Amino acid sequence: MKTNKPIFLLLQSWLLLALGVLISAHVVPGIGYETGATLIVAVLLLSFFNIILKPLLILFTLPFIVLTMGLGLIVINSFLFLLVGSLVRGFEVAGFGSALLGSLIISIISLAANSLLYGKVDRQKGGRPPGRRKSDDDDVIDI
C-alpha cells in the first residue's frame, strides 16, 4: 500500500522500528524488555532521538563520518540505542556490542521493508523517495 500521507509514513516508520527492536530483543543476547509497554516507550524514545539528536550528532561528527565513508553512522545509531537502554526502565541493552548488533538488525529490517514496500527509486529519471512530491520549493540539486 503506497501512501503519501505523513501520518501513515510516521506510523509505518514506528512499526518498522518496533519490529526491529522486537527482533533485536529476541536475537541479540544482551537486549531485552519486560513488557509490551516498555517496548513501546523504548521505540517512541528511540524515534524521538532519531529525529532530534541524530541530526545534531551527524553535524558534529561529520568529518568522522566522511572519513569512515558513512560507517560512523552505525556508531551514532548504536550510541542512540544504548542511550535508550540506559534511560528506559525495563528495557535493557547490555553494552555497546549489543547496541551495535541491535542497530544493525533495525537498519536491515528497515531497508528490506522499504525496498519491498516502495521498490527501487530511479533518481536518474526524476524518481522521488516515498512520501515526497515535486513542489516549487524543492532543492535545485536532488541527490
Q: Is there a domain that residue 126 lies in?
A: no
Q: Is there a domain that residue 13 lies in?
A: yes
CA–CA separation, 69 and 59 (whole Å): 15
Q: Is there a domain that residue 127 lies in?
A: no
Residue 143: the pLDDT is 46
The better pLDDT of the pair 42, 8 is held by 42
Q: Is there a domain that residue 129 lies in?
A: no
Q: Is there a domain that residue 52 lies in?
A: yes
DSSP 35-50: SHHHHHHHHHHHHHHH
Predicted TM-score (pTM) of this structure: 0.75
Q: Percent of the chain having pLDDT more than 70?
A: 80
| Counted domains in the chain | 1
Give the torsion sign (CA, 7, 129, 39, 89): negative
Give the torsion sign (CA, 107, 112, 118, 123): positive
Q: Where in the sequence is the domain holding 50, given as residue range(s)? A: 9-121
